[in-house]
A and B are shown apart, each in its own frame.
Chain A
Amino acid sequence: MALVRISGRTGPYFEILEARSPDSPSEKVHLGVRYDTFRRYATLGLSSAIAQYYGIVQDGLMDAKHAFRGLVRPLMHNGDADADRTVIIYSWRPEADWEWRGDRFSGQVVRLEPPTHRVFVVLVREEEPGEFGVAGSIEKWNWIMEDLDLSEAPVEWGMRYGEKLWTRGGP
């Protein structure tokens, strides 16, 4: 599947990526990484997270195996006490992991074998598509232990998330 990416600042977004729709994995939506989100990673010096964005999220989001909706935990946002329900979680097992080694100037990114029994998740806050047609903001990405029964899904996904939306190539 062709990957569409709009690099460079577009409104509040640092970059806009194509992803599978929460409603159907055969449909596509555009998701944005907010400039402020990326800036926060940068100003905190979280180079490994930035490396994972470029190495895993940017090219791999379309490879998501599962999508879930809703975080089962308190989350208030913009005065909405039920903001946990508008978070989409994509999960899959990428081919590699990436980590920054060394200092800011002489360090470099190393490609690593993915940690065993882990899956990668990307959290997206759903939004009403505005002038840029973005259906959600990519807020965070990280590794989680893999579920014992559902391959490429986070452990205890049934307790963590409100509902499973879809699984590609399986139940």
Chain B
Amino acid sequence: MKTAEEVTNLVRATSELAAFRPCAFFDSRLDCIRVIAKDCSVTETRVNPLLTVLEANYPDVAGRKCVGFTIKGARHFCKEHALDLSTPIKISDLLDAVLKAMPDVIVEAFVDHVARPLVREVKIEQVEPAIIPDASPQRA
């Protein structure tokens, strides 16, 4: 197993490594929208087949546990809710669509009491379109 120093050096040597900033983007290869508020180790907890919550594995004592979420099946979801994934989508419009698509007490509580305050706090305002083109030979 590598040492922490070895892994640190490998990370530092990663080309184009930028400073983290909270972000929301369309992951075209896994067809989902990822909202990430903190760079840390996370556990992905499934709320339902469309919604997954990202929870920090080692939260600060005073820090929040939820550090992001994922909306799966984004192409179909956005098409159903007239959201265009090829252009930036307002995060508030996305969350409104989540509530409309999943009228459920748990989802409503998550959106209103976790997701909206989270994106407001870290100033995520829109979902960026895909930054990686679709292009890979698929297995038949």
Contacts and interface: CB of A to CB of B under 8 A. Distances in A.
Interface residues of A, number: 62
A38 B28 CA distance: 14
Given A50-B17, A83-B138, A139-B30, A144 B43 contact: yes
Interface stretch (B2-10, B88-96, B109-117, B118-126): B2-10
A73 B4 contact: no
A96 B73 CA distance: 31
A42 B7 contact: no
A150 B14 CA distance: 36
B41 A47 contact: no
A86 B44 contact: no
Contacts of A108: 4-5, 8
Contacts of B102: none
17 contacts: A44-B36, A45-B18, A45-B21, A47-B39, A54-B6, A77-B28, A77-B30, A100-B39, A103-B19, A109-B8, A111-B4, A111-B7, A125-B138, A143-B42, A143-B43, A143-B57, A145-B45
Interface of A: 12, 34, 36-40, 42-52, 54-55, 59, 72-78, 80, 83, 86, 95-100, 103-104, 108-112, 115, 118, 123, 125-128, 130, 136-137, 139-140, 142-145, 156, 160
